Amino acid sequence: MSHDNDRDHRSSGDRADKGNAASEKKGPDKDAIEKRMSRIRHKIMVLSGKGGVGKSTVAANLAIALAMEGKQVGLLDVDFHGPSIPTLLHLQGRQLSYDGEAIAPVKFSENLKVFSLGFLLKNEDDAVIWRGPMKINVIKQILSETDWGDLDYLIMDFPPGTGDEPLSIAQMLPSSDGAVIVTTPQNLSIIDVRKSINFCRQVHVPLLGVVENMSGFVCPNCHELVNLFKAGGGETMAKEMGVPFLGRIPIDPAVAEASDEGRPFVYFHGKTEAGKAFTAVAAAIMAKEEGLSKNTENESEKKTLEGPVVKVAVPVTENRLSAHFGHCDVFSVFDVDTVKKSVLSRQDLPAPPHEPGLLPQWLHERGVQMILAGGMGQRAQDLFSQKGIRVMVGAPPEAPEAVVAAWLDGSLRLGSNLCDH
């Protein structure tokens, strides 16, 4: 992949020159960081010119979307004064482990690991009152000691603005693939984004593109896009500054609701306009990084699960989908071809005893990748997510083969979650 256009926009500003001179000096920290980063194929920074534009929400959903594509993903939250990733992913109170040599990030799912500065705080309401040098030392320790293992992508949620922390991280990671910059359509946000673009060029960080968040509102009744703010400002600005435009993400009240509940929006609401937009941004980044073609809407749904043949489980009572997931008689497990949209086989498995935490492991051991359910509590959904099993709730109480067939051809109508607790 070429970043020649952005590499040519280089400034000889004092900060960048001093930073580059310092970064050329070899030392234990630099060697350790290079060793850790050498196992990560693509390292992507998510920046914003100012706070309040949804940068962390974009970073979290981008990481989830990439993980849903089967990629091995790490999500690093280094926003010192607003580490919101634990809340967005329902990971509050989780602890990091340290064996004296390496820090193990928190495992969100089989192919998504998370490190947040929020994990270092005793209480989530604690303020981080650290001077610049201490912040830089913490960043060095995180980058040099966190054991991500082998990753396809590391998504880094940066602090907003162009201060010491973004500058230091950018200089510690000279091999990064580039930056995604998040803005909203308003002029005030766009002015600050111009500064972020110039910042990246000064410190020689390639620009992957601009995302315009909160870009219009999709009416839930008529589905018409209403521009609450000035429309298209981010795209116009990107063209003026010679930066790729990655897409618009419309306002959806479910984004705020999902964020507050710690439910990844793109995972649970992938078919909404905003969900499709997040997926499209991830596809655009993969196209840049891996030369992949953008997926169509149907391909995007299929690629949330690995391979064309998928195991789908349906809880069944009296040959109909059971309204309450944990109290069914059997689980009908279907092997389906998501390309030919056909059912290959069906196996009815007697349900195991209803014990807390048993079903996620039990279904995972049987290779299940997708569950179609009438109702399921949030805690159970989180446990399935950690096993890499996707859950769709609100499915109708019909014959299981009819439910699966409707899911395959895209006609499945989802109602309310009958067990939302």
User: Quick one: how far is CA 370 from the chain centroid?
Assistant: 19
- Boundary of a domain, candidates 241, 274, 302: 302
Q: Would you place residue 388 in the very low, low, confident or very high pLDDT band (cuts 50, 70, 90)?
A: confident
Q: Tokens 């482990």 appear where? A: 97
Q: Would you place residue 6 in the very low, low, confident or very high pLDDT band (cuts 50, 70, 90)?
A: very low
- The rounded mean pLDDT for the chain is 81
* Residue 348 lies in domain: 309-409
pLDDT tens per residue across span 34-43 = 899 999 999 9
- Boundary of a domain, candidates 270, 302, 334: 302
Question: At how many degrees (to 10) do helices 164-172 and 187-202 cross?
Answer: 40
- Half-sphere exposure at residue 377, Cβ-oriented, CA atoms within 13 angstroms: 10
Residues 6+ apart with CB under 8 A from 82: 51, 56, 159
Q: Is residue 415 part of a domain?
A: no
Q: Is residue 414 part of a domain?
A: no
More reliable by pLDDT, 108 or 175: 108
Helices (H), 294-357: 297-302
329 and 285 in a common domain: no
CB 48 within 8 A of CB 196: yes
Question: Which CATH number covers residue 331?
Answer: 3.30.420.130
Q: Is residue 416 part of a domain?
A: no
Question: Could you count the other beta carbons within 10 Å of the beta carbon of residue 324?
Answer: 15
Least-confidence region, from 85-89, 240-244, 292-296: 292-296
374 and 242 in a common domain: no
Nearest alpha carbon to residue 180 among 145, 144, 205: 205
294 and 348 in a common domain: no
Encoded tokens for 105: 């990030």
57 residue type, one letter: T
Whether 25 has a pLDDT exceeding 60, the answer reads: no
Whether 260 has a pLDDT exceeding 70, the answer reads: yes
How many domains in the chain?
Answer: 2
State mean pLDDT over 185-198: 84
Encoded tokens for 177: 């693939």
pLDDT (0 to 100) of residue 83 = 83
The Cα 139–Cα 126 span in angstroms is: 19
The Cα 201–Cα 68 span in angstroms is: 31
Q: Tokens 């789908």 appear where? A: 312
pLDDT (0 to 100) of residue 241 = 84
DSSP classification of residue 305: S
More reliable by pLDDT, 145 or 23: 145
Whether 173 has a pLDDT exceeding 50, the answer reads: yes
Least-confidence region, from 65-69, 300-304, 332-336, 344-348: 300-304
Encoded tokens for 231: 């429309």
287 and 316 in a common domain: no
Whether 2 has a pLDDT exceeding 80, the answer reads: no
Q: Is residue 143 part of a domain?
A: yes
CB 180 within 8 A of CB 62: yes
Residue 414, Ramachandran bin (φ over 0: left; ψ between -120 and 50: alpha; else beta) = beta
CA distances from 243 to 193, 234, 316 (A): 11, 10, 52
CB 365 within 8 A of CB 315: no
Q: Would you place residue 167 in the very low, low, confident or very high pLDDT band (cuts 50, 70, 90)?
A: confident
Q: Is residue 97 part of a domain?
A: yes
First to last CA, the chain: 46
pLDDT (0 to 100) of residue 110 = 85
Residues 6+ apart with CB under 8 A from 42: 152, 153, 154, 177, 289
317 and 251 in a common domain: no
DSSP letters, 306-370, are SSSEEEEEEEEETTEE-SSGGG-SEEEEEEEETTTTEEEEEEEEEPPP--TTHHHHHHHHTT--E
257 and 386 in a common domain: no
More reliable by pLDDT, 113 or 272: 113
355 and 294 in a common domain: no
pLDDT tens per residue across span 64-79 = 999 998 899 999 998 8
Encoded tokens for 259: 């964020």
pLDDT (0 to 100) of residue 218 = 66
373 and 237 in a common domain: no
Q: Would you place residue 28 in the very low, low, confident or very high pLDDT band (cuts 50, 70, 90)?
A: low
State mean pLDDT over 367-380: 87
**Partners of residue 225 on adjacent β-strands:** 218
- Boundary of a domain, candidates 244, 272, 302: 302
The Cα 165–Cα 401 span in angstroms is: 54
Question: Which CATH number covers residue 296?
Answer: 3.40.50.300
pLDDT tens per residue across span 201-257 = 888 888 999 999 888 776 666 666 677 666 667 888 888 888 899 999 988 888 888
pLDDT (0 to 100) of residue 296 = 36
Helices (H), 181-314: 187-202, 233-240, 253-261, 265-268, 273-290, 297-302
Q: At 29, phi and psi to the nearest 5?
A: -65, -45
pLDDT (0 to 100) of residue 157 = 93
Whether 147 has a pLDDT exceeding 90, the answer reads: yes
368 and 248 in a common domain: no
97 and 40 in a common domain: yes
Q: Is residue 419 part of a domain?
A: no
84 and 59 in a common domain: yes
Q: Is residue 421 part of a domain?
A: no
Whether 7 has a pLDDT exceeding 60, the answer reads: no
Q: Is residue 11 part of a domain?
A: yes
Q: Would you place residue 363 in the very low, low, confident or very high pLDDT band (cuts 50, 70, 90)?
A: very high
336 and 230 in a common domain: no
CA distances from 336 to 158, 190, 230, 300, 312 (A): 41, 46, 45, 16, 7
Q: At 186, phi and psi to the nearest 5?
A: -70, 150
pLDDT (0 to 100) of residue 27 = 54
